[in-house]
Structure 1
Amino acid sequence: MSQASPPTEIGILLYPHVQLAAVYGLTDLFNLANRFATRQRPSGSPALRVSHWQETEAAEAVERVFDTAPGTPGPPDVLLLPPSFGEPMTSEEAAPLARWLRQRHAEGTTLSSVCIGAFLLAETGLLAHRMATTHWTYAAVLAERFPDVRVDTDKLIIDEGDVITAGGLMAWTDLGLKLVDRLLGSAVMLETARYLLVDPPGREQRCYSSFSPRLNHGDEQILKVQHWLHASGARQVTLPAMAECARLEERTFLRRFHKATGFRPTEYCQHLRVGKAREMLESSKRTVEQIAVAAGYEDPGAFRKVFQKITGLSPGDYRSRFGLNGRA
């Protein structure tokens, strides 16, 4: 009889002035989703593990202070920075936590933030040259304090694969359901949303799920390449460049990349580019040709073929079905 796989851990960081309603609300949401998912597991073992993390009195030490599956080793699969009713932490105040978060990210943990939590996430340097969102009242402050972050508060959630940011104070419900969809599937997400009487996030209701890369595989050299691809949008990257980033010979890199991620490097890059294209088709009025170039494709014809292969729809049909500007 095969042994049940360990539960996927979602950690919630309790930093100064954190909104406790969000902390406990997220904990309840994930525990409810875990209840629904556990019913589907033959072993009946938990599918999700929820933990709370907090700085201790010891300098720069962050420990679990709550855990639904104590004793299981390893870093969390996801770390979530909830909103706060206080002002954003200063760089000096945030430095110890930012260092700790960078270390977890380097181990394969996906980092996510809600509202003012984006400031702490930005202190890690991991949002540099990436899109991010926060509460609209703090957009200008975030952009001024971190000029290398591309702030876009028109979007409620921005998913960069290994880092996810959500907007306003109550966006924790949307982010929580998005993580449930990513980790447990759309059926569990929808059941959780229905039980809580919360509207599911728009994209997660659709029949074409978003790309959810595997980041907790433990291969540091491959993870380094994944982080680079997500930060660059996988534009203008080549196999030699990826192998060089990993400091591996090309054949070794190909073998280890596929083992770690389940994709060939070209397929992985295609999924990342198509994900960006989907967002632009949903929310912008750019032409398909302009979106193809912005997503990293010089040939719009090649872009259309890849898009159709991954989503099952042409870019035009996708926009007609899911685009905000194309809906009746």
Structure 2
Amino acid sequence: MTTKMAIFAYDGCLSTSVTGPTDIFHIANIHQRIRKENSDNPLFSWKIYSPDGKPVHTSTGITIAVDGHYNQAGNPDLCLIPGIDHAFGSEVTNKTVEMRSTLGHMIKHHHSQGAVIASNCSGSFLLADTGLLDGKEATTSWWLAHHFSHSFPKVRLQLEKMVTEHNNIFCSGAMTAYMHLCIRLIEKFAGESIAKCCAKTVMLQNKETTQAPYIPVPHHFKQKDELIRNAVKWMQENLDQDFHLDNLASQLAVSPRTFIRRFNQATGKPPKQYFQKLRIDEAKRLLESTQLSVDDITEKVGYVDVSSFRRLFKREVALSPTEYRKRFTQ
């Protein structure tokens, strides 16, 4: 049985969000042919649609021919929502509002008809805008976390996850996470064996399911608060020092309780947890840019017990310090 996929493209979508998945689903069809398993009916077929049925001008200037307009998609088994090209988060939110009456309506309609809906990268904004993700887990490009959380507070953003799934709705993280998304969809529709073959063909480590190694500490605060900016500046300059909340609050001339409340409001994290993440970020920078030993880096970021630091780093980054250095240095 062939899984019918509809790709809902639009002007300004990421070209790889359209062409990349079709290549991977094509590879799945090739593996089916090699195995001689019902090769007359491919595992996947797809058509590309645009809001008006005209060719789509993608983010890179590449024009993609389409098979019709959104209303001609029929009853697909799988709907794919490409990511939105952007330099700033505001461009994503503006495009989401622009597409609400056309694409948003189609997403809700096809989901109600039983279709699986999947988005890549910033395409999760288009999904979340429909309300289908309210109360559910989702992921997106890690650098868009602030804009996503602000726009969709009812969605449980799980930024560290490469792919999320709930009630036949899939979201994937930053750009090339579409590959992980496609492997998951191939597994869902065609089985684990074909999915593993496809993962090997595209040289994808299918067990890598987290964006954690790539996510820095956010410095885009939810609220503008000069006191908190001063607190963060102190933290950044004193990563090798012990953190004493009462002392820092006293320096800032506020009570500890007020400091905690305002820090949480501005950053979304308690002060000590934010300080810890700054230390991990600095450790990542030193692992990437210096030849310092892990022991020396541990000391520079304020930890005494190297074993404890290694465990903390692995928990936060999903890689050990040594694994991180191997991956992110030449």
Q: TM-score, normalised by structure 2?
A: 0.54
- 1:76 and 2:76 correspond: yes
Residues 152-231 of structure 1: matches in 2 within 5 Å?
152-202=158-208
1:94–1:201 CA distance, 2 compared to 1 (3 A): farther
**In 1, Cα distance between equivalents of 2:76 and 2:150:** 31
1:102–1:145 CA distance, 2 compared to 1 (3 A): same
Residues 55-204 of structure 1: matches in 2 within 5 Å?
55-56=51-52, 65-66=66-67, 74-86=74-86, 87-88=91-92, 89-202=95-208
**In 2, Cα distance between equivalents of 1:27 and 1:201:** 22
What's the CA shift for 1:16?
2.8
What secondary structure does 2:66 align onto?
A: strand
The structure 1 segments of at least 4 consecutive aligned residues displaced by more than 4 Å after TM superposition are 324-328
Paired letter, 1:65: V
**In 1, Cα distance between equivalents of 2:53 and 2:73:** 22
The answer on whether the counterparts of 1:174 and 1:201 sit within 8 Å (CA) in structure 2 is no
Q: Which residue of 2 aligns with 1:28?
A: 23
Paired letter, 2:136: R
Give a deviation string over 1:185-232, Cα, whole Å, max 9, x none: 1111111122222222457xxxxxxxxxxxxxxxxxxxxxxxxxxxxx
What secondary structure does 1:41 align onto?
A: coil
1:153–1:51 CA distance, 2 compared to 1 (3 A): same
1:201–1:37 CA distance, 2 compared to 1 (3 A): farther
Paired letter, 2:52: T
1:90–1:157 CA distance, 2 compared to 1 (3 A): closer
The answer on whether the counterparts of 2:199 and 2:205 sit within 8 Å (CA) in structure 1 is yes
What's the CA shift for 1:15?
2.2
1:83–1:57 CA distance, 2 compared to 1 (3 A): closer
**In 2, Cα distance between equivalents of 1:116 and 1:98:** 14
The answer on whether the counterparts of 1:17 and 1:85 sit within 8 Å (CA) in structure 2 is yes
Give a deviation string over 1:85-126, Cα, whole Å, max 9, x none: 223114243222101111111111111111110110011110
Give a deviation string over 1:221-244, Cα, whole Å, max 9, x none: xxxxxxxxxxxxxxxxxxxxxxxx
**In 2, Cα distance between equivalents of 1:201 and 1:95:** 37
What's the CA shift for 1:49?
0.9
What's the CA shift for 1:161?
3.4
Which of 42, 46, 49 is matched with 1:53 structurally? 49
Q: Which residue of 2 aligns with 1:292?
A: none
> Which residues of structure 2 form unaligned runs of 5+?
55-64, 210-314, 321-330
Residues 276-315 of structure 1: matches in 2 within 5 Å?
none
**In 1, Cα distance between equivalents of 2:16 and 2:52:** 22
Residues 242-253 of structure 1: matches in 2 within 5 Å?
none
**In 2, Cα distance between equivalents of 1:142 and 1:22:** 19
The answer on whether the counterparts of 1:10 and 1:79 sit within 8 Å (CA) in structure 2 is yes
The answer on whether the counterparts of 1:30 and 1:50 sit within 8 Å (CA) in structure 2 is no
- The alignment covers a number of residue pairs equal to 195
What's the CA shift for 1:34?
1.3
Rg bigger for which structure? Answer: 2
What's the CA shift for 1:37?
2.1
The answer on whether the counterparts of 2:53 and 2:66 sit within 8 Å (CA) in structure 1 is no
Paired letter, 1:83: G
The answer on whether the counterparts of 2:138 and 2:158 sit within 8 Å (CA) in structure 1 is yes
Cα RMSD over matched residues? Answer: 2.9
Q: Calculate percent identity across the aligned residue pairs.
A: 27
The answer on whether the counterparts of 2:49 and 2:73 sit within 8 Å (CA) in structure 1 is no
Q: Which residue of 2 aligns with 1:321?
A: none
**In 1, Cα distance between equivalents of 2:142 and 2:319:** 25
